[in-house]
Amino acid sequence: MIMDFVWAFIVGGSICVIGQLLLDIFKLTPAHVMSLFVVSGAVLDGFSLYDRLIEFAGAGATVPITSFGHSLLHGAMSQAEEHGFLGIAIGIFQLTSAGIASAILFGFIVAVIFKPKG
Amino acid sequence: MITKDNYQQSIKPYQPKPNLIQNCIKAFVVGGLICVVGQGLTVLYMEMFGFTAKEAGNPTITTLILIAAILTGFGVYDKLGQFAGAGSAVPVTGFANSIASAALEHKSEGLVLGVATNMFKLAGSVIVFGTVAAYVVGLIRFTAQTILGS
């Protein structure tokens, strides 16, 4: 139980360090780093590697944005098994829908309620 | 003679050097702590509502997004971002922050042309590249599975 938290901290922190190195050494913008991470998550999941990382690190692997790519592919593959090639498009947002919908909703509400700062 | 090419070189001695090690430590600690909060939420949802680890994923992400959006509204998350760099940008909270802060920043232009139009200015790239990558990988994998007849 305690070790779950320790591994979440270490793995999640390490993924962020990779991002920081890309920012500082390769001078990428945060948008480039986030895009790269999402693509990496999808590719790693293509080889079924990301699920192993989640089993091992829990939230250390599900909280970083890489898991967004992993969830996109997982949704696509689960529908592809049922509906064939068409299922890829049907299922691609199946698992990420909650995240995207809540980010839009909460982002909108925040923009309506709060005043922009400086 | 200053040209576009040697300009970057000539100002190099006067630019502050990014402290690489310090930045990485900050990113590690802050990013790690956000994941620990996520792990805590996952455990909470599993204990309270009897979710499996996999089912607890969506409520965990949603809660983190809510927290990040509110902190963005108070201007706290952007300060955290200046301190932690990738440590606050890489977790899903950074995705929520990029949506909420872009929406908030353009509030003065109105709800339709300001908030709604600019909301995905930064986060759009994540969704576009994520979708394209997942689609391509999904096609390859499904084709391979069909051919190999797994």
Is residue A57 in a domain? yes
Is residue A78 in a domain? yes
**Which of A46, A62, A115 shows the shortest C-beta gap to B140?**
A46
* pLDDT score at B133: 97
Task: Give start and end residues of each alpha helix (H) in A47-91.
Answer: 50-57, 59-62, 66-83, 85-91
Per-residue pLDDT, averaged over B116-131, amounts to 94
Which chain A residues touch B86 with a CB distance below 8 Å?
16-20, 22-23, 30, 33
Is residue A79 in a domain? yes
- pLDDT tens per residue, range A36-74: 999 999 999 999 999 999 999 999 999 999 999 999 999
Is residue A83 in a domain? yes
- pLDDT tens per residue, range A80-97: 999 999 999 999 999 999
d(CA A65, CA A54): 13
In Å, how far is B83's CA from the nearest CA of chain A? 12
- pLDDT tens per residue, range A101-113: 999 999 999 999 9
The number of folded domains in chain A is 1
d(CA B96, CA A80): 29
What's the whole-model pTM score?
A: 0.90
Q: Taking all residues of chain A, what is their mean pLDDT, rounded to a whole number?
A: 94
* pLDDT score at B149: 78
- B60: which 2 tokens? 């965990």
Is residue A87 in a domain? yes
Question: Cβ contact (<8 Å) for B135 and A89?
Answer: yes
What are the sequence ranges of the domains in chain B?
Answer: 26-119, 123-150
| Residue span of the structural domain in which A17 resides | 2-113
* pLDDT score at A117: 72
Is residue A118 in a domain? no
In Å, how far is A44's CA from the nearest CA of chain B? 10
